[in-house]
Every structure is written in structure tokens, then in C-alpha cells.
């Protein structure tokens, strides 16, 4: 071992007081390559200020940005079987779950909460892509279904934030069974006459996009989100053709009728509240009345010098003339 590397350099670093810089201090924009300070991103809801690129965020952050003052009551997730198939690939599925839970602090890929969105009480469900790609397993399916049941019982609309790679392969057919189960939960909410709005985020793919993520009354997408069933590369290799530029993005799907609107993260709470009030037939927020215009003061005419400042009103002049005429007539009668 080189004595300069092992002894001299650490000694010099300790003398100069060198500090370790966190790796995530600066974050690179995937679209433009711009380096953005992480504090600026946090203050801007993880949207790159110059390019407008929407970074992936956690499910907890989505609900915090959505509800008034960031306050909501988390809906408890039902208990579900953890490893029904005793699956193992490069590592045991139970070990994989333990590691990702320790890393994310989540029990599974779904967080559901109930709170107020600009005065409208609603239930919101969000996928967390950092938990095994936001994949849909038995536990996630149970959490989604329970959130629909809570919304139906409390007569609240439901907002779904989809961000998933699809069904969880480690749970096999049991994961695929969640697709029809969640579809039934959507129909239960609609039969109760309650709105169901889906917010498609980056990415929404696979079985999730083939089930409850495409069954909303209204579909909103974040700018630049990838929304599809199969990926672009898989389609190109299958049909042996080059796909159009921007294929499967939010903007492309809106132009072709698959998405109703593309809304930025900052405008999402106001947009959702406005739509929910319309769909729930609630009165809109009263518009502030404009202050009445100030009445223009009538100009005051000044009398010329030597004359009275107040001129007699026309009605008063007419009354005086009539009185004088009547007096003259009475004098004439007396003389006759």
C-alpha cells in the first residue's frame, strides 16, 4: 500500500478540515442535463424550474402537496399475506421486501389518505414508485380496495395517483387477480354516484394501466409522463417500425383522446377541487365582487363676479313665474 495514499493524504485532509459533500446536493435534470440545487427542487415541488420537468416523488409527498395545509388522515392498510408463492429469484422475496421496507419506510407501494382538497372532502390513493417500481401485489390491491370502500361509506370522491410498472411478478397469478378486484371496486364507487378521477404520473404502465388507472371519470396527466401498457422498445421490436416522436407521453395521448387534460403539479389541487365541486354539484367558491366605481362629482359652476354664486333652479323659476301670472290675473279681475 502506498504510504502517501494511506498516511500523507488523510493527514493533509484532516489539517485542511475537508468535509464530505452529500451525493444528492445537486440533482441533474434528466431532460436538459441542468444541475439544480436540491433545496430549490424541494421548494418547487420537485419540478425543475427552467425545463418544467416533473421529477418522481414519493406517495407521501403527493398527498402532502394535494391536501389543504398538507394535513390528511392516513387510511389503515388491511393485513395481507406477504409471500404466498415462496418466490425466489436472485434473492428471496421476503428478503427483498425487508430491504425495500427498510429503505423506503413503507409497508407496501400504496398510501391512502382522506382529507380536504380546497374545501372538498376526498379520498386519495397514491403509488410509490420507489417500492419495487410501484408494482401491484396482494397487499397493494387490498389497500386500494379498502380505500374505495372508505370513500363509498363516507360518500367521498376518490383521486388515484397512478405510478407503477404493473403487476408484481413475485406474486404471480395472485397479483394479476388484483386487476379484476380493483375494477369491481371502481364500479362500486360509480354505482354510489361518486366521482373517480385518475392522475397519471410518470410512469404508468403494465397491468395498472390496463385496469383501474384507465377507468376514471376524468383522466389527468402530469407533463411528460410515460403512459402505456407495453414499452416503446417492445412495440418497435414487435412491429419492426419506428414510432412517432413523443409516443406514449401525456401530451401525445391528450392529442389522441386518451387523456382529458395535462396539468402541472402546482395547479393540480385547484384543478381537482374545481372538477370535484362540479361533479358533486357543490356550489363554487363565491367570486369576490368588484368594488363599486366612485361616482364622479358634478362640476360646480362658479358665478361671475358681482353675481350670486347660487343660481335659481329651473323648477323654482317656473313656480315664481306662475305665481306672478296668477297675481296679475287677479288684479285684472278686480279692476273689471
Cβ 200 vs Cβ 220: under 8 Å: yes
Closest CA to 275 of 217, 205, 214: 217
Q: What b/e readout covers 57-93, taking b as 16+ CB neighbours within 10 angstroms?
A: bbbbbbbbebbeeeebeebebeebeebbeeeeeeeeb
Q: Which of 154-163, 279-288, 306-315 has the lowest mean pLDDT?
A: 306-315
Query: What does the pLDDT read at residue 137?
Result: 95
**Do the strands 261-262 and 218-221 form a parallel or antiparallel pair, or are they unpaired?**
parallel
What pTM, to 2 d.p., does this model score?
0.78
Query: What does the pLDDT read at residue 328?
Result: 46
For residue 317, say if its preceding peptide bond is cis, omega within 30 degrees of 0.
Answer: no
- Stronger pLDDT, 163 or 318, i.e. the higher one: 163
Cβ 225 vs Cβ 253: under 8 Å: no
Query: What does the pLDDT read at residue 283?
Result: 82
Query: What does the pLDDT read at residue 2?
Result: 67
Taking the CB of residue 35, how many other CB atoms lie within 10 A of it?
Answer: 10
Average pLDDT, the chain: 86
pLDDT band, residue 132 (cuts 50/70/90): very high
Query: Residue range 195-200: average pLDDT?
Result: 98
Considering the chain, what percentage of its residues have pLDDT values greater than 90? Answer: 72
Per DSSP, the residues of 186-236 read: HHHHHHTT--EEEEEEEEE-HHHHTTGGG--SEEEE-TT-BB-SS-HHHHH
Per DSSP, the residues of 253-290 read: HHHTTS-SEE--TTTHHHHHHHHHHHHTTPPPPPPPPP
Q: How far is CA 222 from CA 262, 270, 336, in A?
A: 6, 14, 102
pLDDT band, residue 247 (cuts 50/70/90): very high
Amino acid at each position: 500500500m502506498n504510504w502517501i495514499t494511506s498516511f500523507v493524504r488523510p493527514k493533509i485532509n484532516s489539517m485542511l478540515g475537508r468535509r464530505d459533500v452529500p451525493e444528492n446536493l445537486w440533482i441533474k435534470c434528466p431532460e436538459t442535463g441542468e444541475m439544480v440545487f436540491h433545496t430549490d427542487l424541494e421548494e418547487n415541488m420537485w419540478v425543475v424550474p427552467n425545463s418544467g420537468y416533473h421529477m418522481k416523488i414519493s406517495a407521501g409527498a403527493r398527498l402532502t402537496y394535494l391536501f389543504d395545509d398538507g394535513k390528511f388522515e392516513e387510511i389503515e392498510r388491511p393485513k395481507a399475506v406477504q409471500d404466498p408463492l415462496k418466490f425466489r429469484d436472485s434473492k428471496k422475496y421476503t428478503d427483498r421486501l425487508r430491504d425495500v421496507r427498510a429503505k423506503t419506510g413503507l409497508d407496501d407501494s400504496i398510501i391512502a389518505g382522506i382529507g380536504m382538497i380546497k374545501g372538498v372532502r376526498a379520498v386519495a390513493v397514491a403509488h410509490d414508485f420507489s417500492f419495487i417500481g410501484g408494482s401491484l401485489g396482494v397487499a397493494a390491491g387490498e389497500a386500494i380496495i379498502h380505500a374505495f370502500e372508505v370513500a363509498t361509506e363516507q360518500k367521498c370522491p376518490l383521486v388515484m395517483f397512478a405510478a407503477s410498472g404493473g403487476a408484481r411478478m413475485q406474486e404471480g397469478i395472485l397479483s394479476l387477480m388484483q386487476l379484476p378486484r380493483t375494477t369491481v371496486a371502481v364500479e362500486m364507487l360509480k354505482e354510489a354516484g361518486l366521482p373517480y378521477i385518475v392522475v397519471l404520473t410518470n410512469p404508468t404502465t403494465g397491468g395498472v394501466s390496463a385496469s383501474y388507472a384507465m377507468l376514471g371519470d376524468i383522466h389527468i396527466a402530469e407533463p411528460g409522463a410515460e403512459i402505456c401498457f407495453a414499452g416503446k422498445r417492445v412495440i418497435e421490436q414487435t412491429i419492426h417500425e419506428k414510432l412517432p416522436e413523443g409516443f406514449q407521453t401525456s401530451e401525445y395521448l391528450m392529442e389522441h383522446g386518451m387523456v382529458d387534460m395535462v396539468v402541472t403539479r402546482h395547479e393540480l389541487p385547484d384543478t381537482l377541487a374545481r372538477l370535484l365541486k362540479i361533479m358533486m354539484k357543490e356550489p363554487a367558491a363565491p367570486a369576490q365582487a368588484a368594488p363599486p366605481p366612485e361616482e364622479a362629482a358634478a362640476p360646480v359652476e362658479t358665478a361671475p363676479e358681482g353675481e350670486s354664486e347660487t343660481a335659481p333652479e329651473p323648477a323654482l323659476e317656473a313656480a315664481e313665474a306662475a305665481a306672478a301670472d296668477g297675481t296679475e290675473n287677479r288684479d285684472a279681475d278686480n279692476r273689471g
